[in-house]
Amino acid sequence: MEMEFLLKLKEQITLETIYYVFTILVATDILTGVIKAWKKGDFKSRSLRDGMFGSLAELILLVLCILASKLVPVTSFIVFVVLLVMIFKELSSIVEN
């Protein structure tokens, strides 16, 4: 049942759309994290830098996953599920901030 739902969802949403959604969520996460740290008086450039490097690495990984799914179509479903998990991770981080 869950597999059917994911397959239908994958037919409706492209990997590129998920990438754009994830990029927006990453930017929102960084912004809310900066605002939270600033309000607490705990803003440190090192924390911001580490967070941004991690986010940049995730975005690069997503681009590589999308390229891999173009080259090997069998992997596109796996990439789709991984992208959804990463989106939920970002959403939980935003809620935490």
Phi-psi region of 61 (alpha: psi -120 to 50; beta: other; left: phi over 0): alpha
Contact 7, 77 (CB under 8 A): yes
Mean pLDDT in each 10-residue stretch from start to end of the chain (97 residues)?
76 81 89 89 83 86 80 77 87 90
What tokens appear for 52 in the block? 């941004």
What tokens appear for 47 in the block? 């924390």
In the prediction, which pLDDT does 95 show? 93
CA distances from 89 to 43, 48, 95 (A): 23, 18, 10
In the prediction, which pLDDT does 1 show? 58
Q: What pTM does this model have?
A: 0.76
Alpha carbon of residue 44 to chain centroid: 23
